[in-house]
Structure 1
Amino acid sequence: MTRKVTTKGQVTIPQELREKLGIHPGSTVEFGVEDDVVTLRKAAAGGRGAAIVGRMRGTATSGLTTDQIMRLTRE
């Protein structure tokens, strides 16, 4: 499977491969190079959002249970 590189260095990932790897608009991919071989893979889940949630985890100070918080959001 071959593709041409644009003047901006861009290459379209064939739809068949995007579907197989679960790559959608907004997905993050990782490139690797070993000798003269370039690899592409879907980046591991996480990233900026996961880091933010990780820093916030366990910092709530309200003392409310999850059920109590859910009741408040429904009122």
Structure 2
Amino acid sequence: MTESTITAKGQTTVPADIRALIDAQPGTRLVWSAMPDGTLIVRAKSQSVLDMAGMLKAPKGKRVSTEDMNPWR
């Protein structure tokens, strides 16, 4: 089991073996989630939703305008 300590400023260092496991580089963002039972889940954020832009192509002849997508029309 790997450990780290929280400093007086609320900072901690991610241990080297964990950084290597997730291939963390300077600037890697971590997402922290606290579960109801006190368990913490820390996930390396490797992609932005913006990285998926253009992934899906509209079927030919099936274009929908932004106005038609608005649920409050």
Per the shorter chain, which TM-score range? 0.5 to 0.7
Which residue is 1:32 aligned to?
Answer: 33
**Amino acid aligned to 1:15:** A
Which residue is 2:4 aligned to?
Answer: 3
* 1:4 aligned counterpart, secondary structure: coil
* 1:25 aligned counterpart, secondary structure: coil
Aligned-partner Cα distance in 2 for 1:15–1:46: 24
**Residue 12 (str. 1) matches residue 16 (str. 2):** no
- What is the number of residues matched between the two proteins? 52
Aligned-partner Cα distance in 2 for 1:38–1:45: 21
* 1:29 aligned counterpart, secondary structure: strand
- Tell me how large the CA RMSD over aligned residues is: 2.2
More helix by share: 1
Superposed displacement of residue 42, structure 1? 0.5
Residues 1-75 of structure 1: pairs in structure 2 closer than 5 A: 1-34=2-35, 35-46=37-48, 50=50, 54=53
Superposed displacement of residue 44, structure 1? 3.8
> What's the TM-score once normalised by structure 1's chain length?
0.57
Aligned-partner Cα distance in 2 for 1:44–1:2: 23
> What's the TM-score once normalised by structure 2's chain length?
0.59
**Amino acid aligned to 1:7:** A
